[in-house]
């Protein structure tokens, strides 16, 4: 197990939101090693917000996590949006882009991330659209395993669908451990088994977040609460299975002061350090000669 050395960011990151711009100025690269933004929220933004964002992009590595690509939509791919994202990435030296394995438009924006049907036809359709986006951007992108609350027209399992799309599109995986937990409760499977079946060789970075407990058997992915212990456990397991990947703490509302947000950032760092130490110990034990000094 090791850090993915060729990935453009390492360590722990936070999602940069406009409400954080003033408070987060106190952060340094010792605190967080990268930041993530939704490009749709910043493309074409000028004035004070535009100047402040430019300052952040000069101080921290920035990666993009989109909201509006709608990769599974029946509508054509929004080529103009993708080209705008490419221009935004060039302007701010953004090295990487990811999106959700969902759709959010059909002859207009639906303002929610809806599940793509888990069918063979949808695999081919979605994979072709991902390849189209990668061709426009000129680079591989990552698709995130998404939370969902119904599975219309389901012909295959969620894990089968994800694996098939990533394989056919030849794209990367953005691994969201909270979405695994939320879906495992809502759809009745074991999160550890689901995690273990993901194609770890395609996983490039990780999202972790909190969620809302609607009921014992219904969790809602909100990014508006603290991370809970079972999700921290899934993060540790992901490191064990796939290596210590760069990890982003998502918080979209109920955002606490940055000093409080750093408590969870430090928790991620602690879990990363423990995983790295465990891996090092295991490597050293494997490398030790058996039987001590031997004479021939």
> Where are the chain's structural domains?
12-285
> Would you state the pLDDT for residue 293?
46
Torsion of CA 193, 246, 146, 73, to 10 degrees: -140
CB 145 within 8 A of CB 181: no
Locate 93 and state its tokens.
């030296």
Query: Euclidean distance between the first and final Cα of the chain, in Å?
Result: 35
94: left (phi over 0), alpha (psi -120 to 50) or beta: beta
In 3D, which of 134, 153, 150 has the Cα closest to residue 142?
Answer: 134
* φ, ψ (nearest 5 deg) of residue 128: -65, -40
**What does the pLDDT read at residue 61?**
97
Q: What is the total residue count of the chain?
A: 296
CB-CB contact of 210 with 179 (8 Å): no
Q: Which residues pair with residue 62 across a beta bridge?
A: 35
Closest CA to 223 of 249, 248, 250, 247: 250
Rounded CA separation 191/54 (Å): 39
Q: Is the pTM of this model over 0.85?
A: yes
| pLDDT string in tens for the chain (296-residue length) | 345 567 899 999 999 999 999 999 999 999 999 999 999 999 999 999 999 999 999 999 999 999 989 998 989 999 999 999 999 999 999 999 999 999 774 555 545 678 899 999 999 999 999 999 999 999 999 999 999 888 888 899 999 999 999 999 999 999 999 999 999 999 999 999 999 999 999 999 999 999 988 888 888 888 889 999 999 999 999 999 999 999 999 999 899 999 999 999 999 999 999 999 988 887 777 666 555 444 33
101 in helix, strand or coil? Answer: coil
pLDDT at 294: 44
CB atoms inside a 10 Å sphere around CB 248 = 26
Distance CA 231, CA 183 (A): 12
The residues that bridge with 240 in the sheet, in sequence order, are none
Burial of 133 (0-12, 13-18, 19+ CB in 10 A): buried
Q: Which tokens belong to 97? A: 């882009």
Residue of 133, 137, 116 whose CA lies nearest to 73: 116
DSSP letter (8 states) at residue 116: P
The whole-number pLDDT of residue 217 equals: 86
Reduced to 3 states (helix: H, G, I; strand: E, B; else coil), residue 269 is helix
H or E element at residue 50: helix 47-59
pLDDT at 289: 58
- Predicted confidence at residue 232, as pLDDT, reads 98
- The number of C-alpha atoms within 13 Å of 113 and in the hemisphere containing its C-beta is 18
Rounded CA separation 75/81 (Å): 13
Topology of domain 12-285, per CATH? Answer: TIM Barrel (3.20.20)
What pLDDT does 295 receive? Answer: 39
Helix axes 258-287, 229-242, angle to 10 degrees: 40
């Amino acid at each position: 197990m090791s850090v993915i050395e060729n990935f453009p960011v390492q360590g722990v990151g936070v999602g940069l939101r406009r409400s954080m711009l003033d408070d987060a100025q106190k952060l340094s690269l010792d605190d967080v090693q990268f930041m993530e933004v939704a490009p749709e929220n910043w493309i074409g933004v000028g004035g004070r917000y535009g100047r402040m964002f430019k300052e952040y992009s000069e101080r921290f590595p920035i990666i993009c996590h989109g909201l509006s690509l709608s990769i599974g939509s029946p509508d054509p791919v929004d080529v103009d949006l993708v080209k705008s994202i490419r221009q935004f990435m060039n302007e701010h030296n953004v090295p990487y882009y990811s999106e959700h394995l969902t759709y959010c438009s059909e002859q207009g924006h639906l303002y929610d991330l809806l599940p793509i049907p888990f069918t063979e036809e949808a695999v081919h359709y979605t994979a072709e659209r991902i390849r189209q986006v990668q061709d426009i951007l000129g680079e591989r992108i990552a698709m995130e395993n998404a939370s969902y609350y119904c599975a219309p027209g389901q012909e295959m399992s969620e894990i089968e669908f994800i694996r098939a799309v990533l394989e056919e599109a030849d794209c990367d995986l953005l691994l969201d451990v909270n979405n695994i937990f939320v879906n495992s409760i809502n759809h009745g499977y074991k999160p550890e088994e689901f995690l273990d079946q993901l194609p770890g060789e395609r996983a490039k970075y990780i999202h972790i977040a909190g969620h809302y407990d609607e009921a014992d058997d219904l969790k809602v992915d909100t990014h508006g609460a603290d991370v809970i212990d079972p999700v921290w456990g899934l993060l540790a397991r992901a490191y064990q299975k796939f290596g210590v990947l760069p990890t982003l703490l998502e918080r979209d509302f109920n955002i606490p002061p940055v000093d409080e947000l750093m408590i969870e950032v430090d928790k991620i760092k602690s879990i990363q350090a423990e995983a790295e130490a465990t891996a090092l110990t295991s490597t050293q034990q494997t490398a030790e000669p058996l039987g001590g000094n031997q004479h021939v």
